[in-house]
Amino acid sequence: MSIDWYPLTNSLRIAAISCVLVFFTGIFFAYYAARLPRAVKGVLDVFLTLPMVLPPTVCGYFLLLIFGVKRPLGIFLLRFGVKFVMTWYGGVLAAAVVAFPLMYRTARGAFESFDETLAYSGQTLGLSNTYIFWRIRMPACRQGILAGTVLAFARALGEYGATSMLIGYTPGKTATISTTVYQLWRTNDERGAMFWVLVNLAISTVVLLAVNMLESRQKKAVKR
């Protein structure tokens, strides 16, 4: 039996790209949100964390409201040939929005536990802020940021709700593992659905093992 591996490669591609996007935007917002005045920070924090608590279908609904091909932004983007609805890279957008809060929250937690005197002493020694950020702050927060990245990747890989709203299910075009499982089950292909369920289980297990290993390494580092 020949298997169409497209859902796997598409899922991995979507998860990997959205994970990279979320890595940088999450760190950016985590770092700068901490420096904002308290009131602004509170509002921004709620807004940035909403996708984590909203049902993914609601996130997908909002994405359609913004990027739908009959909406102003959708029409504008279409002029440049960019269409987020019913395309695989629309899946990147959906996964990134849903996975963002995980990265943002974990990175913020890591930054908040950072000993700020390290940054101060770097400044008094004449080091640049860029150097302090990449060579002192990031290494010190490494474990937390890695854990956030892995969680965001896992969340992006398992995304279903927002993805199905925004890009639907087109075999060989927008199909991901999660939408394929639903589609195959719906059409009574139990064996096919089970196959993708097992693939998904395997990937998730590997990801969780990685998280656990990171956490135990972090504990060791703290003990020292």
Partner 1 sequence: MSLKVDIRKNLGGFRLDVKLEAESGVTCLLGASGCGKSMTLKCIAGIEKPDEGRIELDGRALFDSEKGINLPPRERHVGYLFQNYALFPNMTVRQNILCGLNREKDRSVREARLRTMLHMLQLEGLEKHKPHQLSGGQQQRVALARILVSDPQLLLLDEPFSALDGHLRDALKIELRDLLQRYGREVLMVTHDRTEAYNMSSRIAVLHEGRLLKMKPTKALFADPGSVPAAILTGCKNIAAARRIDEHTVEVPEWGVRLETKQRVQEGLCAVGVRAHYFNASAQQNRFPVRFVEEMEEPFETTLQFRFAGQTPDSPAIWWRLAKDRRPAEFPQELGVAPANILLLYE
Cβ proximity to partner 1: between 27 and 175 the closer is: 27
Both tokens assigned to 31: 């770092």
Binding mask 130-169 for partner 1 (x = CB under 8 A): -x---xx--xx-----------------------------
Tell me how crowded residue 224 is: count the other CB atoms within 10 A of its CB. 4
- CA dist 116 and 126 (Å) reads 16
Cβ proximity to partner 1: between 114 and 185 the closer is: 114
Cβ proximity to partner 1: between 76 and 134 the closer is: 134
39's enclosing H/E stretch is helix 38-53
Contact stretch for partner 1 (CB under 8 A) within 46-54, 57-65, 129-137, 200-208: 129-137
Binding of partner 1 at residue 171 (CB under 8 A)? no
Which residue of 24, 32, 120, 134 would you call a contact of partner 1, by CB under 8 A?
120
Q: Are 23 and 95 in contact (CB under 8 A)?
A: no
- CA dist 164 and 94 (Å) reads 9
Which residue of 121, 204, 212, 216 would you call a contact of partner 1, by CB under 8 A?
121
- CA dist 47 and 220 (Å) reads 35
Minimum distance from residue 221 beta carbon to partner 1 (Å) = 9
Binding of partner 1 at residue 126 (CB under 8 A)? yes
Which residue of 38, 70, 220, 224 would you call a contact of partner 1, by CB under 8 A?
224
Cβ proximity to partner 1: between 1 and 125 the closer is: 125
Minimum distance from residue 149 beta carbon to partner 1 (Å) = 18
Residue among 145, 111, 157, 155 at smallest CA distance from 214? 145
- CA dist 96 and 167 (Å) reads 14
Which residue of 77, 78, 86, 127 would you call a contact of partner 1, by CB under 8 A?
127
Binding of partner 1 at residue 125 (CB under 8 A)? yes
- CA dihedral sign, ordered 11, 20, 163, 49: positive
Burial status of residue 190 (CB atoms within 10 A of its CB: 0-12, 13-18, 19 or more): exposed
Which residue of 51, 91, 122, 158 would you call a contact of partner 1, by CB under 8 A?
122
Q: Are 176 and 91 in contact (CB under 8 A)?
A: yes
Rule CB under 8 A: which residues touch partner 1?
115, 117-118, 120-128, 131, 135-136, 139-140, 224
